[in-house]
Amino acid sequence: MIICKTKSEIQGALAKRRQAGETIAAVPTMGALHEGHLSLIDVANEISDQVVATIFVNPLQFGANEDFGTYPRTVESDLELLKARGCNFAFTPDRNDLFPADFSTKISVAGVGEDHCALSRPQFFDGVATIVTKLLMILSPDVAVFGEKDYQQLAVIKRLVRDLDIATEIVGAPTVRESDGLAMSSRNQYLSVEERNVAPALYKALTAAAEKLHSADHNWSEIRDASIEQLLGAGFSSVDYLHFVDAFSLAHIEKVDRPGRLLAAAWIGKTRLIDNVPVEAA
Amino acid sequence: MIICKTKSEIQGALAKRRQAGETIAAVPTMGALHEGHLSLIDVANEISDQVVATIFVNPLQFGANEDFGTYPRTVESDLELLKARGCNFAFTPDRNDLFPADFSTKISVAGVGEDHCALSRPQFFDGVATIVTKLLMILSPDVAVFGEKDYQQLAVIKRLVRDLDIATEIVGAPTVRESDGLAMSSRNQYLSVEERNVAPALYKALTAAAEKLHSADHNWSEIRDASIEQLLGAGFSSVDYLHFVDAFSLAHIEKVDRPGRLLAAAWIGKTRLIDNVPVEAA
């Protein structure tokens, strides 16, 4: 695996593969890699000749009171994991290489980038949209692979790539879960043993709610209220949101008359977890 | 000259030239072409093997009360002019091909994209930044040529291309003027004969102000006030702004201690004209 720290290094390295006629898949990450990320490397390897993973904790997507400073940084072990998984290139840029002092451009995605996680993290998707666009411009990959675990993020990226006519195909890959159903996340390591025991209730509540939506005479607001009670009863401290949405537009819906998605964010102590499940059209 | 109306047509046509090892320069325009635009074709032809001009009146950059509906549309004669000038490709997209109904992505450039023309046209540079990014993504040109006549626009485009790591070099080309100094503009055709006689006063006031800035003990605010009086006295209806700025950051300055620029916008009747001149460092 070739490790590049600068834009010019990675561009030079990838240009050679492209000239050799090979396709390139990108897997942008913030590091602190777990099996969820590594599954994206597998997907990327299946659909392209060369895989480039990026590791960069993007300051733009953290709010002032969020965990940018404490976000886990484990670059050395991340690189070992990527290499062992068959990743071909790792791009680990410096903040200064990506963001000159007078950097001043922002990409915003209305609609799919509003509501849901944007309610409590108003700057988050602008930050994601801007860094992902930059990485796609630097790497010019044929495809880029993102996890469905961050479902709204995936929708935002698909939308901006379509809207801006960026020549990269965006591929979503299924959420990888622990054996008890908890979606893998770099933030799971913030959880104490007690909190970790509470955490699987999020996926349980979502799957139960999705099932109830397929019962006759279901009422979404009743299902939602019961699910929130279930989460709080299981030990969650608070629920940011639990939304039933159109799987593509992320607009709120109440009926299973089209492909839908249940999206949720909830807190256990000081840790915010998100998860989502599909709701098939009836 | 090959004329393409769809993204896929122009991309296919340009891909052949690129495969043949040729470089491509883009000249984005809103049509209503005059000698200023055609000089950009000349610059593009000098620095690249193939030149693609785009003609698209971009709805995103017009405000609700601006002249989107009446902006001059002269595609057939524009295409003749481009062909005669040695342009190789024209891209004349439909609005629906560029903007699907649920289009929702916006690019904003803080700093250089604020103040000056943004004061009275708050959506303008977001609209420019978004359409130019789209056109650069569709055409993937090696260089793109823009006129210095729209100086703040040029600064915004240079900034977003640097910030987003877009692999296109942005080249600014000098303003082309009528024999009496009036900067060529598609909007000059809005002027009545009487108004047309007033219009050259804008360039005269700017060049006079630039000269005064190089006199000993100059005072910028006095020069500005006198220049505005000069414009109103010459028959301009009102002056949107007359700013002395750093040539790169577009921050306000008062001394000739670095490369500067005088930027102005002023109205004659219902027509808003803009112009700018360099102010060399003393």
**B94-146, pLDDT tens digit by residue?**
999 999 999 999 999 999 999 999 999 999 999 999 999 999 999 999 999 99
In the prediction, which pLDDT does B282 show?
A: 87
Type of residue found at B54: T
Residues of chain B neighbouring A109 (CB-CB closer than 8 A): 104-106
pLDDT digits (tens, 9 = 90+) for B141-161: 999 999 999 999 999 999 999
CA distance, residue B130 to nearest chain A CA (Å) = 8
Structural contact between residues B132 and B25, judged by C-beta atoms closer than 8 angstroms: no
Find which of A159, A165, A170 to mutate to test the B interface (most B CBs within 10 Å of its CB): A165
Distance of alpha carbon B103 from alpha carbon A164, whole angstroms: 9
Type of residue found at A97: D
Residues of chain B neighbouring A112 (CB-CB closer than 8 A): 104
In the prediction, which pLDDT does B208 show?
A: 97
Neighbouring C-beta atoms of residue B64, cutoff 10 Å: 6
CA distance, residue B277 to nearest chain A CA (Å) = 24
Please tell me the CATH code under which domain A186-273 is placed.
3.30.1300.10
In the predicted model, what is the mean pLDDT of chain B? 97
Tokens of B280: 């060399």
Type of residue found at B140: S
pLDDT digits (tens, 9 = 90+) for A124-146: 999 999 999 999 999 999 999 99
In the predicted model, what is the mean pLDDT of chain A? 97
Q: Per the CB < 8 Å rule, is A164 touching B137?
A: yes
In the prediction, which pLDDT does A216 show?
A: 84
Q: Is residue A150 pLDDT above 90, yes or no? A: yes
pLDDT digits (tens, 9 = 90+) for A182-192: 999 999 999 99
Mean pLDDT along residues A98-111: 97
Cite the beta strand spans of chain B per DSSP E: 2-4, 24-29, 50-55, 89-91, 105-109, 143-147, 169-173, 238-246, 260-268, 271-279
Percent of chain A scored above 90 by pLDDT? 98
Q: Is residue B216 pLDDT above 90, yes or no? A: no
Q: Which CATH number fits domain B2-173: 1.10.3720.10, 3.40.50.970, 3.40.47.10, 3.40.50.620?
A: 3.40.50.620
Residues 6+ apart with CB under 8 A from B15: none
Q: Is residue B86 pLDDT above 90, yes or no? A: yes
> What are the C-alpha distances in Å from A138 to residues A165, A282, B19, B161?
15, 42, 21, 12
Distance of alpha carbon B227 from alpha carbon B213, whole angstroms: 12
Neighbouring C-beta atoms of residue B226, cutoff 10 Å: 15
Q: Is residue B39 pLDDT above 90, yes or no? A: yes
Q: Is residue A217 pLDDT above 90, yes or no? A: no
The SS3 assignment for A182 reads coil
Give the nearest partner residue to A165 out of B106, B109, B137, using CB atoms.
B137
Distance of alpha carbon B38 from alpha carbon B27, whole angstroms: 9
Residue B217: pLDDT band by 50, 70, 90 thresholds?
A: confident
Q: Is residue B23 pLDDT above 90, yes or no? A: yes
Q: Per the CB < 8 Å rule, is B102 touching A111?
A: yes
- Tell me whether 0.90 is exceeded by the ipTM: yes
The domain locations on chain B are 2-173, 186-273
Is A37 among the residues known to form the active site?
yes
Residues of chain B neighbouring A249 (CB-CB closer than 8 A): 102
In the prediction, which pLDDT does A145 show?
A: 98
pLDDT digits (tens, 9 = 90+) for A263-277: 999 999 999 999 999
Mean pLDDT along residues A6-23: 97
Find which of B9, B107, B161 to mutate to test the A interface (most A CBs within 10 Å of its CB): B107
Q: Searching chain A, which residue's CA lies closest to the CA of residue B114?
A: A104
Dump the DSSP string for B191-260. --HHHHHHTTHHHHHHHHHHHHTTSTT--HHHHHHHHHHHHHHHT-SEEEEEEEEETTT--B--SSSS-E
In the prediction, which pLDDT does A165 show?
A: 98
